[in-house]
Structure formats: C-alpha cells, structure tokens
Amino acid sequence: MADEPKHVDPFKPQDPTIPGVTGNAARIRPAPQPPAPLGQGYQQRAVAPSQNIFADPRVVIAIAVTAVLLLGFGLFWHSHSTSAEVTKPAEGITAAVPPPAAAPAAAAEPSKPVPIGPGPVASAAELAKPWSSKRFVFRAPQTADDVPALVVHLPGNVYWGISMREPFGSCEMRYITDLAQIENEYHYTAAHPMVVDPCNHAVYDLEKYGPGPNGVVRGAIVSGAGVRPPLAIEMKARGNQIVAVQIEQ
C-alpha cells in the first residue's frame, strides 16, 4: 500500500533534514533563560562613574583652594584678636608700667692711704678746728709693730698723739665726737669728744691728766675700769706739717 502523503502546514514549514545533523540530540539545546533582574539594594549601593564628583580634578582643586583660604583667614583673625587683647588693657585695670631704671651707683671713692709715722702724718689745714683728728699708723722702731694711732687738735693749739690700742691689751679704742652717743653707750655725760674703750667701756678725757708709769699723762680715766691713760705719741708742728716723733715706752 502506497504511503499517504503527509499534511504540510504552509505556515509551519518543516526543518530540513540534514544527514548527521538533524536528529542529533547534542545539537538540540534549550534556549537560555533571561538573567534575573538585579535587586533594589544593589542598585542603591552602586554609583555610576559619572556621579562621583571627586573624579573631576577641577572640583578637587577648587575644594583645596577654598580650604587654604579659609585656614589663612582663620589664622589672621586669631592673631589680630590676640594682639589686640594683649595691647589693650582691660577696663578698670591700670596697665603695669615698669619702674624706671635705677641710676648707676656712684663709684666708690678710692680710700686714701693711711699715713705712717715716724714722719709727717697730717697737715695743719686738716686739723684746723679744735677737736679735729686724723688716724695714722705708727711703726715702732724697736718692734716694727704697726700701731693704730690718732692725732687730735686740742684747745690751746695743742696736737696730741695717742696709741689707739688699749694699754696692756689688744682692743682698739675709738674717738667719739657725738656726745649723745657717749652718754647712751657709755653712760657718761661728756662736754667734749672722748676716747672710749669698747671692750671695758672705759672713757678717757684728753683734757685731763692721769698717772702713767713715767709720770702723769694726758687721757685720765673718767669712767669705767681702765688700767692707765692711752700711750702717748710725741707730736711736733713743722711748718704746715704735723709730725709724729716717737711713742711712749
């Protein structure tokens, strides 16, 4: 029986039959599925390259310049306001004014050398007034001992010299012209300057005579416990000079 012809749909043509190809299961593959749409969260995290403003170098330069200008203006304003606060004193407060520089101290006058006897130790001009005096040193020829000494112009134009070392001791005596000081410190009311011994508080009056080993001598003890009047030094006036000659032995 002859094969009946197959019905062919003109709108659905059959695929051609190719030997070795048609009917090969390896070449018949289902169409791939379309990709699933991206989630909303991922779309929010993703940023299009065109939306990143820092990718533009002009924007970065403009931001940097603006930051530098703002920083410089801030530093200038802070410096200006700080200097104004320092230079302008607060209201109600008197600005401290530094004291004027102290004047340099006057240079101390060089001390004059002390005259040494035997020899001239003063001038008549230096001892012009009564009770004026001058210190000197008498070098004893026998012992080469430098003895502190004093010459006083006594009333009656008398120049009297004495050793200022206490007799038979080592304390140095003083010549005081302040009568109130004599009364306060030595409890003696004096009418003129006196020689005093600060060690035993003896007061010696050069207008009076007291006993010495070789007779009476000027400088009687009028107060205190002294041994004898001060040792005498012989003085002579030679022209305008007052000369120390010798010391009492």
Q: How far is CA 98 from CA 29, 95, 101, 236, in A?
A: 105, 10, 9, 61
Residue with tokens 């991206």: 38
Domain ranges of the chain: 116-247
Asked whether the predicted pLDDT for residue 36 surpasses 90, the reply is no
Under the banding of pLDDT at 50, 70 and 90, the label for residue 187 is: very high
CATH architecture of 116-247: 3-layer Sandwich (2.102)
Strand ranges of the sheet holding 241-247, from the earlier edge strand across to the other edge? 116-117, 133-139, 146-154, 158-163, 232-238, 241-247, 119-123
Give the model confidence (pLDDT) of 49-72 as tens digits: 445 555 566 766 777 777 767 776
| The two three-digit tokens of residue 220, written as one number | 């009687």
Element holding 98 (H helix, E strand): none
pLDDT, average across residues 100-107: 57
pLDDT at 235: 96
**Partners of 215 in beta bridges:** 212
Asked whether the predicted pLDDT for residue 207 surpasses 60, the reply is yes
